[in-house]
Amino acid sequence: MKAIVYTKYGSPDVLHLKEVAKPAPKDNEVLVKIYAAAVTPGDLIIMKGALVTRFFSGLLEPKHKIPGKEMAGQVEAVGVNVTQFKPGDEVFGDLYVCGLGAFAEYVCIPETAIALKPANISFEEAAAVAESAIVALQGLRDHGKIQPGQKVLINGASGGVGSFAVQIAKTFGAVVTAVCSTRNLAMATSIGADHVIDYTQEDFTQNGQHYDLILAANGYHSISDYKRALSLNGIYVMTGGSGSQLVQVMLQGPWISMTGSKKMSNMGLKPNKKDLIFMKGLLEAGKVKPVIDRRYPLREVPSALRYLDEGHAQGKVVINVAQNN
């Protein structure tokens, strides 16, 4: 099969399209023919060999030679102990905790890591959901304790995570403010934001408004700026953003949360089948629609990652694996 392979950490130049052996499923595994994948900032972090990820991804060189986390495809074969899927099922999932490998024509994964693909969306759209939407969901629901009627602000609302966060927050009945740049204001409104703030014109941490929940998906503000923008019992959840923002929230967040009424923390994604099924419900009900920015064939994964690395994707950047054939 064709796959994007790398043997050393570095820029997207270390990635090469190669012919490799097609995997065979173990007893508890499903062999999936991948039709689409999607790229995430996490793929960039792993590929570059950031120190913090090397314990998971290999200390000196990549442990998993085929990168990629978000994928959607069709079950081609199943191991003898697999009970939930059969050949022909259309599935989607996040390979983050099961060896990566989404940038390839086939992958073998435990049946616990995938769910049936929503019937009404394409493979590209399903791949785009597999991790980014789950981050947004867990950030808002599990960490942010989102409630109907709350004022929720999404910073970085136009990217992969943010474009899902806006839509998911609306499904919980929140009043959503999306923060993005000028060119993305119309997109943010079109996916359901009640209010939009152009970060090139206005600093939401300085305008006197307060929010019950702030989800920081991108951009930089200090922790004291975010704290000022929270209402009395407000919650701040950082899913992504700058490194210094992360250090601040890890060092100061627990203290602020312990000593006052405002709660501030970062979050780590916990991929799980239950949340994939939850998102499937929202997608099939038409309450959430993935925003796709660009599409690349499998051989152009390095270009897709270079584009994502510029930091201004509008929604998700997807890989059409089938197109490579």
Ligand X SMILES: NC(=O)c1ccc[n+]([C@@H]2O[C@H](COP(=O)([O-])OP(=O)(O)OC[C@H]3O[C@@H](n4cnc5c(N)ncnc54)[C@H](OP(=O)(O)O)[C@@H]3O)[C@@H](O)[C@H]2O)c1
- The residue among 132, 105, 130, 104 whose CA lies nearest residue 116 is 130
- Region of 122-130, 211-219, 250-258, 281-289 interacting with ligand X (CB under 6 A): 211-219
**β-sheet with 230-238: strand ranges across:** 195-198, 175-180, 151-155, 211-216, 230-238, 263-266
Residue choice 12, 25, 42, 49 for contact with ligand X (CB under 6 A): 42
155 binds ligand X per the rule CB under 6 A: yes
Give the list of residues 6+ apart from residue 183 with CB closer than 8 angstroms, or none: 314
* 239 sits near ligand X (criterion: CB under 6 A): yes
Nearer to ligand X, 25 or 156 (CB): 156
Nearer to ligand X, 74 or 242 (CB): 242
Q: Does 311 bind ligand X (CB under 6 A)?
A: yes
Nearest CA among 261, 216, 220, 223 for reference residue 242: 220
Which residue, judged by CB position, is nearest to ligand X in the bound state?
A: 240
Instruction: Please identify, using beta-carbon distances, which residue of 29 and 70 lies nearer to ligand X.
Output: 70
Q: What is the smallest separation between the CB atom of 124 and ligand X, expressed in angstroms?
A: 15
Which of 267, 294, 299, 322 forms a contact with ligand X (CB under 6 A)? 267
312 sits near ligand X (criterion: CB under 6 A):
yes
Total residues at interface with ligand X (CB under 6 A):
31
How many other C-beta atoms lie within 10 A of the C-beta of residue 24? Answer: 11
CA–CA gap between residue 268 and residue 138 (Å, rounded):
9
Piece of the chain touching ligand X by CB under 6 A; list 29-37, 74-82, 84-92, 234-242: 234-242
Query: What would the two tokens of residue 324 be?
Result: 């490579």
Note whether 205 and 177 are within 8 A (CB): no
Instruction: Tell which residue, 92, 45, 48, 95, has the closest CA to residue 69.
Output: 95
Would you count residue 223 as binding ligand X (CB under 6 A)?
no
Which residue stretch of 40-48, 71-79, 104-112, 299-307 sits at the interface with ligand X (rule: CB under 6 A)?
A: 40-48
CA–CA separation, 96 and 262 (whole Å): 31
Q: Choose, by CB under 6 A, the member of 57, 205, 218, 248 that binds ligand X.
A: 218
- Cβ–Cβ under 8 Å, residues 137 and 197: no
Q: Which residues bind ligand X (CB under 6 A)?
A: 40-42, 132, 135, 155-156, 158-162, 179-181, 184, 199, 217-219, 239-241, 267-269, 308, 311-314
